[in-house]
Chains A and B, each alone.
Chain A
Amino acid sequence: KAGVTQTPRYLIKTRGQQVTLSCSPISGHRSVSWYQQTPGQGLQFLFEYFSETQRNKGNFPGRFSGRQFSNSRSEMNVSTLELGDSALYLCASSMMGQGISEQFFGPGTRLTVL
């Protein structure tokens, strides 16, 4: 069974630009959650999508948004990038939801903002 895939794996952007990251969950999984990982703040929950609906949201500014498609693939978008957005962005998929069933993480997208 193929795992969670994320593209691109690495990204370099400059301040003020916007970026879109993509996540393909494990086949049959309907929930996709996104996390930001930084050395200072650790792992922080961004949002969760289930059946194309945002089910839960963390404490991030509106510049961070996401969506989920009918095939469960998900994208997250960050607009007006700031230096502090440099991080590893992880997505995780699960069958029923991030707490209800086990989550499987993708390899991450490492975003560097210059």
Chain B
Amino acid sequence: ELKVEQNPLFLSMQEGKNYTIYCNYSTTSDRLYWYRQDPGKSLESLFVLLSNGAVKQEGRLMASLDTKARLSTLHITAAVHDLSATYFCAVDSYTGANSKLTFGKGITLSVRP
């Protein structure tokens, strides 16, 4: 059974500083997704990573995927308050067209002045 671990589960960030959060998973997969969730809201798709070495950037966030290490990182550059939210990674364990996403527990980021 695929296990997805995110760490740390909570991160207090200082405005203007850089941080990296991690998503590890237990079985081979080259499909990984990052989502953001604000309190009381639904999930917003951030990044779709579909191959080893994939790197995507949007604003202050950059996500990468290393399928050999079974690891994805989400790098935050110069944190700002608007980035405070919970971030989930989800890994697809698929065989053929049969696909299933397993989510991590999420990392709650809080940016302080």
Task: State which size class the interface on B falls in.
Answer: 20 to 34
Q: How many A-B residue pairs have CB under 8 A?
A: 59
Distance between B99 CB and nearest chain A CB, rounded to angstroms: 3
Q: Which of A35, A103, A107 has the most CB of B within 10 A?
A: A103
**Shortest Cβ distance from A110 into chain B, in angstroms?**
9
Looking across the interface, which residue of chain B has its beta carbon closest to that of A47?
B100
Interface size on A, residues (CB 8 A): 23
Contacts of A83 in B (CB 8 A): none
Contact A102 B45 (CB under 8 A): yes
Q: Which single residue of chain B is at the shortest CB-CB distance from A57? A: B100
B: residues with CB less than 8 A from A are 31, 33, 35, 41-45, 48, 88, 90, 92-94, 97-106
Besides the known contacts A45-B100, A90-B43, A98-B92, 9 further A-B residue pairs in the complex with CB atoms under 8 A apart: A35-B103, A42-B103, A55-B97, A55-B99, A90-B42, A98-B101, A104-B45, A105-B43, A105-B44
